[in-house]
Amino acid sequence: MNALAARRRHPAAIALLLFLGLALVGATYSLFAPKPAQAAVATADKVADGKALFQANCATCHGISAEGTKSGPTLIGVGAAAVDFQVGTGRMPLSAPNVQAPRIEQVKYSQEQIEAMGAFVASLAPGPAVPDKATVEAEGDVALGGELFRVNCSMCHNFAGSGGALTRGKYAPALYGVEAKHIYEAMITGPQSMPVFDDKNIDAKGKASIISYLKTVETQPNVGGMNLGNMGPVSEGMFI
Partner 1 sequence: MSTASSARAADLRAGDRKSSAPASASAKKVGAAASWVDERTGIAKGASFMLKKVFPDHWSFMLGEVAMYSMIICLLTGVFLSLWFIPSAGQIPYEGSYLPLKGITMSEAYSSTLGISFDVRGGLLIRQIHHWAALMFVVSLSVHMFRVFFTGAFRKPREINWVIGTMLSMLALIEGFAGYSLPDDLLSGTGLRAAEGFIRSVPIIGSYVSYMMFGGAFPGEAIIPRLYAVHVLLLPAVLIGLFTAHIILVMVHKHTQYSGPGRTNENVVGFPLMPVYTAKAGGFFFLVFGLLSLISALVTINPIWAYGPYDPSPVTAGSQPDWYMGFADGALRLLPGWLEFEIFGFTLSLNVFLGAVLLIPVMYTITGAYPFLERWITGDNREHHILDRPRNVPTRTALGVAAITAYLVLMFAAGNDIIAIRLQMSINDITRAFQVLFFVAPILTFWVTRRICLSLQRHDRDKVLHGRESGTLVRTPDGQYYEVHEELNDYDRWKLVGFESPAPLALPSGKDANGVASKDAKKELRRAKWSKFFFASRVEPVTPAELAAAHHHGEHEAIETPAGAGAHAIKQASQD
Partner 2 sequence: MSDPRLPATFENPGLPPHVHRAADTDPRAAKRAERQVAGLFTLSILSTIGFIVSYFAVKNDTEAFIPFIGTTNLLNVLLGVFLALALLGIGFGAVHWAKTLMPDEEVVEERHPIRSDDESRAKAVGLLEAGAESAQLNRRPLLKATAGTALGLFALPLGVQLAGSLGNPTKALDELKSTIWDVKDGKPIRLVRDVERTPIKAADVSIGAVFHVLPETIKESHHVLEDKAKAAVLLMRLHPNDFAADDLGKKAKSWGYEGIVAYSKICTHVGCPVGLYEQQTHHLLCPCHQSTFDVTRDCEVIFGPAKRPLPQLKITVDAEGYLVAPQGFAEPVGPSYWERKK
212-228: burial string, b at 16+ Cβ within 10 Å, e else? bbbbebeeeeeeeeeee
Mapping DSSP onto H, E and C, the string for 91-131 reads CCCCCCCCCCCCCCCCCCCCHHHHHHHHHHHHHHCCCCCCC
Interface positions with partner 2 (CB under 8 A): 144, 147-148, 151-152, 155-156, 164, 166-167, 170, 172, 190, 192-198, 200-201, 206, 221-227
196 touches, from partner 2, partner 1, none (C-beta below 5 to 8 Å by class): partner 2
230 touches, from partner 2, partner 1, none (C-beta below 5 to 8 Å by class): partner 1
Separation between Cα atoms, residue 205 and residue 131, nearest integer Å: 13
Confirm or reject binding of residue 227 to partner 1 (CB under 8 A). Answer: yes
* Least distance (Å) between residue 155 CB and partner 2: 3
* Least distance (Å) between residue 184 CB and partner 1: 19
**Binder of partner 1 out of 169, 177, 200, 219 (CB under 8 A):** 169
What is the pattern of x (binds partner 1, CB under 8 A) and - over residues 122-161? --------------------xx-xxx--xx--xxxxxxx-
Interface size with partner 1, residues (CB under 8 A): 48
**Type and span of the H or E element at 164:** strand 164-165
What is the pattern of x (binds partner 1, CB under 8 A) and - over residues 172-201? x-----------------------------
Residue partners of 118: CB distance under 8 A and separation at least 6: 50, 79, 80, 81, 83, 84, 130
Q: Measured in whole angstroms, how far is the alpha carbon of residue 190 from the centre of its chain?
A: 15
Strand partners, 172: 164
